[in-house]
């Protein structure tokens, strides 16, 4: 009888272990700060979130770990810990935060990033890829470069990547890529969330991309003298286009290319951006084909097949296939397959460009959405095509 009970108990425990393994084993996220147990990620990509707030009456989860913008209630245990386990999350980088009695609070278990227009929590959902991870290869530098903008009346900061050989290859000049961030983010985004330097180091070390300088500036610019631009100082849409274009043409490009060893000529200059930054890339780059020979659009609006039916669009750049192909060396679009509206738009644009005889490259990031891993993959695919 005792043996039978033991066998029954053992069988039950084994069943529980199998059920637990099937439901997912949770481990601390790779993006956690040192020693933090939470958040945790399961092998089926669910996220276990937890925050201690014993006096709180309500705690909610908000951000891009949820399928909608509506915050979701968390549950409180006897020890004052508020907990929640999400549904499986799309691989990549995601922003999130807590609402503790209605007050926005970042997760103390992870680092903070500038996203959603303020410092916020972020988590890496495993992708099974390592092209954006540091490897045992020569490492470039990312430095802060401050300069005064007479147009905005303020000091501005750019983050500048120089390849590993830059300091030792005395006298050598390099091509340059201007890389723009998305809405609600800032000039740190490509270095911190985007892992730009690791991607470039790995590509250059593998001889898949030529050594280049990469400039990541702030995508927001409001003119000091708004009357000169006939703009309202609060009109963010215009500040993202008209004023920012002026800052790039008159200040950013001259500042970077006088300080760093940059190879002269439009053929050695490229511009690309994600989301909002892609729209800015269209406004700045397509309106200045005299300055840029290559353009990249990562999950970006701002351009569609409509440009081909307007002979005056971007100064008539799209009015002649021969002229377009001679001026634009790389015309590149990419988006995640979990961004269906953009994939549809790009497919329509692809068809229209091909029909018109204009050269372009289109890329679909499988299984990713409007988030940083899509854009990391985009950079990985785009950079090797430049300056060849």
Query: Residue 31, Cα to own-chain centre: how many angstroms?
Result: 16
Q: Please give the radius of gyration of the chain, using alpha carbons only, rounded to the nearest integer.
A: 24
Token pair 């707030």 is at which residue? 53
Domain that holds residue 98: 23-125
Contact 325, 354 (CB under 8 A): no
pLDDT for 287-324, tens place per residue? 999 999 999 999 998 788 998 989 899 999 999 999 99
C-alpha distances (whole Å) from 339 to each of 106, 273, 283, 362, 368 are 27, 16, 22, 14, 8
Number of domains making up the chain: 2
Predicted pLDDT at 17: 36
- Could you tell me the CATH number of the domain that includes residue 186? 3.40.50.1820
Q: Quick check: pTM over 0.85?
A: yes
Q: In the predicted model, is pLDDT for residue 51 greater than 50?
A: yes
CA–CA separation, 60 vs 110, rounded Å?
17
For residues 259 and 110, membership in a common domain is answered with no
- Could you tell me the CATH number of the domain that includes residue 69? 2.60.40.10
329 band by pLDDT with thresholds 50, 70 and 90: very high
For residues 329 and 305, membership in a common domain is answered with yes
CA–CA separation, 175 vs 197, rounded Å?
16
CA–CA separation, 216 vs 147, rounded Å?
13
Token pair 């892992």 is at which residue? 195
Q: In the predicted model, is pLDDT for residue 231 greater than 90?
A: no
C-alpha distances (whole Å) from 313 to each of 230, 304, 306, 307, 308 are 22, 11, 9, 6, 8
For residues 209 and 235, membership in a common domain is answered with yes
4 band by pLDDT with thresholds 50, 70 and 90: very low
Predicted pLDDT at 230: 73
Whether 8 is covered by a domain: the verdict is no
For residues 110 and 160, membership in a common domain is answered with no
For residues 112 and 238, membership in a common domain is answered with no
238 band by pLDDT with thresholds 50, 70 and 90: low
Predicted pLDDT at 225: 87
Contact 329, 285 (CB under 8 A): no
157 band by pLDDT with thresholds 50, 70 and 90: very high
CA–CA separation, 254 vs 196, rounded Å?
23
Task: State which H helix or E strand residue 112 sits in.
Answer: strand 112-115
Predicted pLDDT at 22: 41
Predicted pLDDT at 9: 35
Q: Using the 3D structure, point to which of 125, 151, 179 is the last residue of a domain.
A: 125
Q: Kindly state the DSSP code that residue 384 receives in the 8-state scheme.
A: G
Predicted pLDDT at 7: 38
For residues 114 and 207, membership in a common domain is answered with no
Contact 88, 44 (CB under 8 A): yes
Mean pLDDT of 10-21: 35
Contact 96, 61 (CB under 8 A): yes
For residues 208 and 340, membership in a common domain is answered with yes
């Amino acid at each position: 009888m005792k043996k039978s009970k033991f066998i029954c108990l053992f069988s039950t425990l084994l069943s529980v272990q199998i059920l637990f393994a099937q439901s997912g084993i949770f481990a601390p996220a790779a993006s956690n700060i040192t020693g933090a147990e939470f958040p945790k990620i399961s092998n089926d990509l669910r996220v276990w979130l937890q925050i201690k707030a014993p006096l709180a009456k309500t705690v909610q989860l908000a951000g891009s770990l949820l399928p909608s913008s509506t915050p979701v209630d968390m549950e409180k245990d006897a020890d004052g810990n508020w907990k929640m386990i999400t549904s499986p999350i799309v691989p990549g980088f995601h922003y999130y935060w807590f609402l503790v009695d209605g007050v926005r609070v970042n997760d103390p278990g992870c680092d903070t990033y500038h996203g959603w227009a303020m410092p916020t929590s972020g988590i890496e959902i495993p992708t099974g890829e390592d092209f954006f991870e540091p490897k045992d290869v020569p490492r470039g530098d990312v430095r802060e470069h401050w300069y005064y903008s007479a147009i905005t009346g303020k000091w501005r900061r750019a983050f500048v990547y120089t390849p590993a050989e830059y300091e030792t290859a005395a006298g050598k000049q390099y091509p340059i890529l201007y890389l723009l961030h998305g809405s609600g983010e800032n000039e740190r985004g490509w270095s911190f969330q985007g892992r730009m330097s690791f991607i470039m180091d790995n590509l250059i070390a593998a001889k898949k991309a030529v050594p280049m300088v990469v400039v990541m500036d702030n995508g927001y610019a409001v003119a000091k003298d708004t009357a000169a631009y006939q703009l309202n100082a609060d009109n963010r849409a215009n500040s993202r286009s008209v004023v920012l274009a002026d800052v790039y043409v008159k200040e950013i490009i001259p500042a970077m290319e006088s300080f760093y060893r940059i190879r002269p000529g439009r053929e050695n200059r490229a511009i690309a951006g994600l989301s909002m930054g892609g729209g800015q890339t269209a406004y700045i780059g397509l309106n200045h084909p005299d300055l840029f020979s290559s353009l990249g659009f990562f999950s970006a609006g701002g351009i569609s097949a409509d440009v081909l039916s307007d002979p005056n669009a971007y100064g008539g750049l799209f009015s002649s296939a021969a002229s377009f192909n001679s001026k634009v060396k790389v015309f590149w679009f990419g988006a995640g397959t979990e961004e269906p509206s953009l994939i549809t738009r790009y497919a329509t644009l692809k068809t229209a460009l091909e029909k018109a005889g204009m050269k372009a490259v289109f890329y679909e990031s499988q299984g990713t959405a409007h988030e940083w891993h899509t854009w990391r993959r985009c950079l990985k695919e785009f950079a090797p095509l430049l300056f060849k």
